[in-house]
Structure 1
Amino acid sequence: MPIPEQRDLGATRGVLADWLASRLGASDVSVSEITGPSFTGFSNETLLFDATWTEDGVPRTQGLVVRVEPTRHHLFLDPDFEFQYRVIKALGEGTDVPMPPMRWYEPDASALGAAFFVMEKVEGRVPADNPPYTQSGWLLDEAHPEERRRLVESGVDALCRIHAVDWRALDLGFLDKSQYGPTGIEQQLNYYERYLEWTARGRALPVAEAALEWLRANVPEQREIGLCWGDARINNQMFDDDYRCVAVLDWEMVTLADPMLDLGWWLFLDRHFHEGIPAPRMEGFPTRDDMVARYQANTGREPHDLFFYEVFAGLRFAVIMARLSALLAEFEILPVDN
């Protein structure tokens, strides 16, 4: 949900045209009407538009996406905005993970009031968060059961590609948050405990606190460290007309941990959008066992301790939603005692 802070999109068109002209070495850059969320969201503001210019005497048009670092509010404890750019660029250039092509990173806040990065626009559709894709929208209203199955299976396949990445070879070690302890589950638990404290600010959050206590008492053996997307779900993937994943989006939660962190989150969010909404399970959607089996077949990795990682997903989700509720209250969208 957006906060009541609106960017002047007309003025932004001119700013972006001038900025792109300096990057492209062109003097005739024009920017189309900007679409996407015109309000600053609680994570990264997103601006979509087409840029047109002349290159070597030939007219060029390119769809572009700008993501702007939030400045007045932060949904996450450590936003690490530049890290998102570095990960997207590394995966797009060095792996087979379907990614939007990255163009530029601008650390100077003078243009848009904050740092931002620019990607090429990828054509496709994303299952919606709001309203939930299980209640309305193209996936419910237009897709046939076999197309829904293909979509979810393609999404799982993209997740498997992420978990096949050699993060060391791509120099992604900067994702290690050593200030929270050793890389892996201990670091993750420490991070979310601090995130919970930061979010609660003295309020009692008994369910989240009980979940954290259970997790601390049931930590599984550390098996491996891999690149984890963090927010692994079909709502953060773009699909083409054939219901196949063409881009993995939203890397705000990217981290280094056991890949089961992602698989547990994937399974938890699948349950959330069906059982938690609640909504009937969409016809054609693979079952939990189907998705786990496909993951194992694709990766050769035997899933383990999934109950633990699904509980951990529930804690992570609760902390993020508590922080979001606090922001909504701060901006008087929800009552303070919500």
Structure 2
Amino acid sequence: MALPSPRDPEVTRAVLAGWIGGRVDGEVSVAPPSGPAATGFSNETILVDATWDEGDGVAEHRLVFRVQPTSHAVFPHDLFEVQHRVMSALGDQRGLRVPRLRWYEEDASVLGAPFMVMDRVDGEAPTDNPPYPTEGWLKDGSPELQRAVWERGLDAMAAVHQVDWKGHGLADLDPCPEGGSRLGARVEEWAAMLRWASPEVRQAVPEAGLAWLRENQPPDIADPALCWGDSRIGNQLFDGRDSPATVHVAAVLDWEMVHVGDPVQDLGWFTWMDHTLSAGLDVPRLPGLPSYPETTARWEAATGRSAHQHRWAEIQAGVGFAIVMVRLTELLKDSELFPHDTDYDRTNMGCVALERALAALDVHPDDLA
């Protein structure tokens, strides 16, 4: 779900032409901006084709402007600059592709908020809307293509967990640099976000999930890793989609939830989100996707780490996604895209999937005090 862009295309075109012109030599020509029919909640995205002379002739540059969210922020804490810093650090990571970053603008007077500029990457992501188990290029592809996409995406996620996060200057992403539980800190971050997203209305399903996570929290690992956060194939661009032999991850996107911690959390989010997009909607998984046990075994082999706490991490992912959906419901109501009496904050696929998973653990929201 997304919000319509409020920008006037011609005004935006002129602003961007002038801004780019201040950073390159020679005359700049900018085509009318385009992009998704509606911009996303996490970041506004503006696609621009621009030309300028780089010294050996005029060349066209396909650019992406990502603008920091302001009035419609999904998360309570702004990590926009952190996203840019993380993507800059990962540009040379073996086995991991991120878009090439060109510029970062802190001056909010240009587009109303800070923004980053990167080269556009050829590729397509499996869609969330409509969910890829129901329609789209991945569903229409062969089982062999579906397996290849899943495995390539999983391997790219595992590459994140190999990053020397301290050596790349990302030590400030560690929530417990002097001791304490990183898993506990993550759970409490979700709890704080739920209070922020729904300060007046009880959300029994994610609250029950939070209680279970606290009661069953495993011990922290001694060697934390960089965690992508929003780790799923829907946040990856795939190129070479005509053949299982050539399909590959062209870019890993969306670092709003990046942190340092136990990387099994990324594995949990990776499998849980696929489960939610299928079981949460009562549709089958795509037939070519490897089983979750196969997935955890492949991740363990790639990282040399244990997936013993995978189920706990899946429940944490279920709680986190349910809380995100609570926040998105409020944004959709504020934008008058949903009626104000909607119950979508409780009936969305994320809450449905989480409530079923908790019931299998004999945890029931109605039992909450």
Q: TM-score range by the shorter chain?
A: over 0.9
Q: Give distance in 2, aligned partners of 1:184 and 1:4.
A: 37
> Within the alignment, does 1:7 sit opposite 2:7 as a pair?
yes
Shift in Å, 1:184: 1.1
Shift in Å, 1:144: 1.4
Shift in Å, 1:175: 2.0
1:204-243 → structure 2 map (5 Å cutoff) = 204-223=202-221, 224-241=223-240, 242-243=246-247
So what's the TM-score if we normalise by structure 2? 0.87
**Quick one: which amino acid aligns to residue 163 of structure 1?**
H
- Give 3-state SS (helix, strand or coil) of 2:87's partner: helix
Aligned residues between the structures: 335
Q: Give distance in 1, aligned partners of 2:123 and 2:38.
A: 22
Shift in Å, 1:40: 4.3
Aligned to 1:169: 167
Aligned to 2:333: 329
Aligned to 1:60: 59
Contact 1:68 1:117 in 2 (8 A): yes
Q: Give distance in 2, aligned partners of 1:175 and 1:18.
A: 35
Partner residue of 1:312 out of 316, 326, 331 = 316
> Within the alignment, does 1:287 sit opposite 2:285 as a pair?
no
**Quick one: which amino acid aligns to residue 248 of structure 1?**
V
- What are the superposed Cα offsets for residues 129-177 of structure 1, whole Å, 9 maximum, x if unpaired? 1111111111112x21111111110001001100001100001122234
Shift in Å, 1:277: 2.1
Aligned to 2:32: 33
Shift in Å, 1:265: 0.5
Moved more, 91-100 or 113-122: 91-100
Moved more, 276-285 or 233-242: 276-285
Flag as ranges the 4+ runs of structure 1 deviating above 6 A: none
Aligned to 2:89: 90
1:105-144 → structure 2 map (5 Å cutoff) = 105-141=104-140, 143-144=141-142
In structure 1, the gaps of 5 or more residues are none
Q: Give distance in 2, aligned partners of 1:119 and 1:44.
A: 14
Q: Give distance in 2, aligned partners of 1:174 and 1:36.
A: 33
> Within the alignment, does 1:19 sit opposite 2:35 as a pair?
no
Aligned to 1:275: 279
Q: Give distance in 2, aligned partners of 1:98 and 1:58.
A: 28
Q: Give distance in 2, aligned partners of 1:146 and 1:40.
A: 32
- Give 3-state SS (helix, strand or coil) of 1:23's partner: coil
Moved more, 28-37 or 290-299: 28-37
> Within the alignment, does 1:252 sit opposite 2:250 as a pair?
no
Aligned to 1:184: 182
Shift in Å, 1:37: 2.8
Shift in Å, 1:178: 5.9
Q: Give distance in 1, aligned partners of 2:336 and 2:21.
A: 40
**Quick one: which amino acid aligns to residue 321 of structure 2?**
F
Q: Give distance in 1, aligned partners of 2:283 and 2:48.
A: 35
The two structures, once aligned, show a CA RMSD in angstroms of 1.7
Contact 1:9 1:38 in 2 (8 A): no
Contact 1:37 1:45 in 2 (8 A): no
- Give 3-state SS (helix, strand or coil) of 1:60's partner: strand
Moved more, 94-103 or 148-157: 94-103
Aligned to 2:48: 49
Shift in Å, 1:226: 1.0
Q: Give distance in 1, aligned partners of 2:91 and 2:282.
A: 36
Shift in Å, 1:211: 0.8
Aligned to 1:156: 154
Shift in Å, 1:297: 1.3
So what's the TM-score if we normalise by structure 1? 0.95
Q: Give distance in 2, aligned partners of 1:2 and 1:205.
A: 23
Taking only the aligned residue pairs, the percentage that are identical comes to 44
Q: Give distance in 2, aligned partners of 1:337 and 1:257.
A: 38
Shift in Å, 1:69: 0.5
